[in-house]
Amino acid sequence: MAEVGGIPVATGEKPLSARHVAAVCVGNALEFYDFVTYAFFAAQIGRCFFPSDARDLSLLASLATFGAGFLTRPLGAWMIGRMGDRRGRKPAMLLSFTLIGIATLGLPLTPSYASIGVLAPVLVIGFRLLQGFALGGEVGPSTAFMMEAAPVHRRGLYISLQSMSADAATLAAGAIGVVLAHLLNESQLDAWGWRVALLAGAVIVPFGLYLRRTLGETLHVAAEAPEAGSGRRIGRVAVLGLAMLAAATTTNYILDYLTTYASNTLGMPSKLALGATAIVGLCGVCCDPLGGWLSDKFGRKPVMIAPFALLLVSIFPCFWLLERTRTAAVLFGVSAMLAIAATLSTAVFLVSITESLPAQRRSGGLSLIYAIAISIFGGSTQFVVGWLTHATGNPLAPAWYMIGGTLVGLTAIVLLPETAPVKRNRGP
């Protein structure tokens, strides 16, 4: 068995240690903790940095700033992702996480508009742009590393732990939000409660940097692999992968938006609404590794198609029921139903796309596909559904947007070839 820096490399013999898994997943976890926390404290952040007599306009300005972080993702994907293919997965992961840490600390430490005026929103937007640049280059090198270091027949499980870390972060963000909402009143949440929530995520920055410095390197695995695939085939994978990740992004960010949707659109209490994010995170933590494990046993496509089809037919009834009843039981039930159907399938998306890309372009290719999907749909989804709901007065607007994204993703899944070793070895 080959080892680099003490790490077993893609021979199918020995599982990775928990320390190595944590080192890879910590960046993804911090990304989603920060983004989710921003999402469900969007109203408080808006009032802090974008004060307005119109409550809806303040929220929309906050959501637009949230989206600004996605503008620099493609640039970060191109620069840091290519670095991962040329200089190594480890230095690329160290650079991206260092920049993420700086941006993560910057936002909650920025004084309010009342304190420093227009400089406050300028700084906030600047930190969001830096964070987006760093996050653009995070997923490609880290997923490539995980694929190359993991046993061949357990790739699905190990790469799905990336998604699980995101949902664990969502759960943590939801739990902290619920605790703060119960301990603090509305004025305290507006003044400093949201800052505490964001700073809580920053404590893992030095821990993550230490873990990543202990990693070995797997770039030689890609260098030794045969160059595979024509430009046309790679282009097809890129288009289908973009459609799949666009669907996953739309779904995930609408699920994360349920807290803001329940409180601002449906008028449910903030303390109750914050629980929806926690439910989504809990379901993801359970279903992500299950989806990855099932894909190793039965193939990638069956595990992606069946839950995503279930999601498609469940979206409208779930949102309709929630809008009609507006109760805690229905909010939590809808959150759980949609999250289970989504995460069982989307956890496998990164596995399938990464396996479809040539080894020598794995880091940069995945980074760009992911960054473009996130930039277009992650950066716009919450703003668009917020605007659509406000403009049309239709509380079911998020459901129709989510249905459209799911249809596109399901089509792409059907067209993408099967990549699981268990399926390739056994034939169709």
* Residue 3: per-residue pLDDT: 42
Q: What is the pLDDT of residues 74-102, one digit of tens each?
A: 999 999 999 988 888 999 999 999 998 88
Label residue 10 by pLDDT band (50, 70, 90). Answer: very low
Which pLDDT score is estimated for 427? 46
State yes or no: pLDDT of 226 exceeds 60: no
pLDDT (0 to 100) of residue 300: 94
Q: Evaluate whether residue 362 is within a structural domain.
A: yes
Evaluate whether residue 176 is within a structural domain. Answer: yes
pLDDT at 4: 38
pLDDT given at position 227: 57
Domain that holds residue 220: 17-418
Residue 11, domain member (yes or no): no
pLDDT at 44 over 90: no
* Burial of residue 118, with CB atoms counted within 10 A of its CB: 0-12 exposed, 13-18 middle, 19 or more buried: exposed
Assess whether pLDDT exceeds 80 at residue 54: no
Instruction: Report residue 400's pLDDT band, with 50, 70 and 90 as the boundaries.
Output: very high
Render pLDDT for 166-205 as a digit per residue (tens, 0 to 9).
888 877 877 787 788 788 887 888 788 888 988 888 888 8
User: Looking at the domain assignment, is residue 424 inside a domain?
Assistant: no
Assigned domain for 21 exists: yes
pLDDT at 257: 81
Q: Is the pLDDT of residue 225 over 70?
A: no
CA–CA distance, 167 with 182 (Å, rounded to integer): 22
Give pLDDT, residue 319: 93
According to the model, what pLDDT value does residue 245 have?
94
Is the pLDDT confidence value at 7 over 50?
no
The tens digit of pLDDT for each residue in 16-31 reads 788 888 888 888 888 7
423 within some domain: no
107 part of a folded domain: yes
- Residue-level pLDDT at 405: 92
Q: Give the residue among 145, 154, 158, 151 at the shortest CA–CA distance from 217.
A: 145
What integer pLDDT is reported at residue 221 of this predicted model? 63
Residue 217 has pLDDT above 60, yes or no: yes
Average pLDDT, the chain: 83
Residue 427 included in any domain: no
Residue 133 pLDDT > 60: yes
What CATH number is associated with residue 268?
A: 1.20.1250.20
Cα 69 to the center of its chain, rounded Å = 13
Q: What tokens appear for 368 in the block?
A: 């760009």
**Phi-psi category of 185—alpha, beta or left, where left has phi over 0 and alpha has psi -120 to 50?**
beta
User: Tens of pLDDT along 320-371?
Assistant: 999 999 898 999 999 999 999 999 998 899 999 998 888 778 888 999 999 8
Domains in the chain: how many in total?
Answer: 1
Looking at residue 305, its pLDDT comes to: 95
Contact, 21 vs 158, CB < 8 A? yes
